[in-house]
Amino acid sequence: MPDTNAISTPTRRVVALDVFRGFAALAAVGIHLLQLPLNDSKPYSPFWMLCAVVNRGLLFAVPAFILLTTILLTRKLLKDYALKTYYQKRIQTALYPYLLWSVLHAFLARKMEKGFTWHDALVRISIGKSYYHLYFLGVILQLYLILPFLVPLFRKRPPISAVLPLAIGLTLGFYALNRYVIDYPYPGSILYWYTASVVLGMWLGSQSENLEAILRRWIPVSGIVSLLSACFYLPLAMNDLAHLKVNTFSFQIGEWTYTNSTTLFLLGFAVRVRLPERLNTCLLYVGSISMQMYLLHRFPLWAVDRLNFANPNLHTVLTLLAAGVLALVPPLIISRLTVKTKLSAILFGR
C-alpha cells in the first residue's frame, strides 16, 4: 500500500502484480465496510454470517500488501544496495504520512474522547494506535527499517525447501515468544506477526527473473491449501467475531495459513489470467492510489457508522452499497485533484 511502484524483472514490469495491488486495496476497504453490519447484527443470524464469512475471507489484504512490498524492496535492494537513498525515500513515503495522520487522529480523539490526554496521544502514536487502521503503516515502517539487514541473506537465492521450514519455524517461535514472554496485547501491530509473509516475500523477490513462472506453478498447491485452511479458519474467525472463546493457537495458525496461501493463489491467478481491459485499467489505477485510499476511506465509513445496519432488508443493502461508494469516491477525487502537487507529497508521501 505505501509503495506504488511496479514490481518488475530487469526487463519489464510484472503488470499482474500491480493489478493485484488494486484488488487488495479494494479488499481492505471491504473489510472495514462489512464491519458496519457485523457491529449491528445479531451473531449467527443469516445476514451476520454472510457478512462475517466475506469479511474474514478478505483478511488476506494486509499480508498481501506486506508480501508485495517485501518483493518489491527485496528486488530493489539486491539490485542497488544504496541505503542512504533507500531510507530517505522511506522517510518521505511512509514516516511523514504516518506522523501527520497520527497527529491528526490524535487531535480528533482529543475533541471526541472524554479524558483523552496528550500523554495518551504520544503513547498511541508510538504504537500505531492513533486510529486503529493506522497500525498497518506502523508495520510497514518496521519492515522498511529492518529489511535491508535481512535481504543479503537471500542474495544467493536459497531453495524454497530451506526457506519454507524457516518461515514456519520463525512464525511459531514468535507466536510462543509473544504468548509466553512478551505478552504484547497488539501483536498484529508488530512486524514479527507477519514473519511468513516477509520471508516468502524476500524469497520471491530474490527470484525476480522466474517470479511469474513460480507463481503460476504454485497455483494448484496454494489453491488447495487456501480452500482447506478456509474450512478450518473461518468457523474459528466467526466465533471470534461473536466474542466466543476460541483456541488462540488454532485460530492464529489458521489465519496465517489462510491469508498467505490465499495471497499466493490470487497472485498466481493474476499472473495467469488476463482480465478485461477496462477492469484491468481500473485495478491498476486503484493500486496506484492505494495509499490515498488507505488513509481516507475510514472517514466516510466513520460518518455512516451511526446508522443501523442490523436488518437484512433492501434499505440496509442499499445503504451499505452507498457507504462503499462514499469510501471509494473521495480518495479517487482527492488523488486526482492533488496528483503531482506538493499537497499530495505532504499528505500521502507521493
- If pLDDT is split at 50, 70 and 90, which confidence band does 13 have? low
Closest CA to 262 of 233, 300, 287, 301: 233
- If pLDDT is split at 50, 70 and 90, which confidence band does 165 have? very high
Cβ(263)–Cβ(200) under 8 Å? no
Neighbouring CB atoms inside 10 A of 220's CB total: 11
Convert the pLDDT of each residue in 41-63 to its tens digit: 899 999 999 999 999 999 999 99
Output the pLDDT for position 8: 39
Neighbouring CB atoms inside 10 A of 282's CB total: 15
- Cα 310 to Cα 42: distance, rounded to the nearest angstrom: 7
75 CA to centre of own chain: 20
Domain coordinates of the chain in residue numbers?
15-348
Cβ(33)–Cβ(323) under 8 Å? yes
Convert the pLDDT of each residue in 243-295 to its tens digit: 999 999 999 999 999 999 999 999 999 999 888 889 889 999 998 888 888 88
Cβ(198)–Cβ(143) under 8 Å? yes
Cβ(31)–Cβ(45) under 8 Å? no
User: What's the mean per-residue pLDDT of the chain?
Assistant: 88
- In sequence order, what DSSP letters do the residues of 55-69 get, joined into one string? HHHGGGHHHHHHHHH
Full-model pTM: 0.89
- Cα 208 to Cα 165: distance, rounded to the nearest angstrom: 21
Convert the pLDDT of each residue in 201-233 to its tens digit: 999 999 878 889 999 999 999 999 999 999 999
* Structure-block grid coordinates of residue 285: 489505477
- The CA angle 130-92-60, to the nearest 5 degrees, is 55
Output the pLDDT for position 11: 38
- In sequence order, what DSSP letters do the residues of 96-135 get, joined into one string? HHHHHHHHHHHHHHHHHSTT--HHHHHHHHHHT-SSGGGH
Residue 4: is its pLDDT beyond 50?
no
- Cα 28 to Cα 22: distance, rounded to the nearest angstrom: 10
* Structure-block grid coordinates of residue 201: 516475500
